[in-house]
Copies of this chain bind each other. A is one copy, B any other.
Amino acid sequence: MKNLIDIKSLSKEQILEILELAEKFENGTAVSSCQGSHVALIFCENSTRTSISFEMAANKLGIHVYNFDTNKSSLSKGESLKDTIENLYEIGIQGVVIRHSESGILDKTKKEVNCQIAFINAGDGNNAHPTQALLDFYTMRKHLGSVEGKKIAIIGDIRHSRVAHSNVDLLNKFGAKIYFCAPKYFEDATQEVIFTKSLEEALKDADVAMFLRIQNERLEDRIPLFDYIHDYGLTTKKLQQFAKKDVLIMHPGPVNRDVEMSSEILDGEYGKVILEQAHNGVFVRMAVLDLLLGKQ
Contact = CB atoms under 8 A, between A and B. Distances in A.
A201 interface: no
A75 interface: yes
Given A48-B74, A83-B253, 7 more contacts: A40-B52, A49-B74, A59-B64, A78-B256, A86-B275, A87-B275, A91-B279
A10 interface: no
Interface residues of A, number: 51
A198 interface: no
A248 B68 CA distance: 31
A294 interface: no
Nearest to A254: B79
26 contacts: A38-B56, A38-B59, A40-B52, A43-B72, A46-B74, A46-B76, A48-B73, A48-B75, A48-B79, A48-B84, A49-B74, A49-B87, A52-B91, A53-B91, A55-B66, A56-B64, A60-B92, A67-B69, A74-B254, A77-B217, A78-B216, A78-B254, A79-B254, A86-B275, A87-B254, A90-B278
Contacts of A80: 257
Contacts of A86: 275
Total identical chains: 3
- Residue among A46, A53, A257, A276 with max Cβ neighbours from chain B (10 Å): A46
Interface string A151-183: 000000000000000000000000000000000
Contact of A47 (B38, B72, B91, B275): B72
Interface in A265-296: 267, 275-276, 278-279, 281-282
B275 A46 contact: no
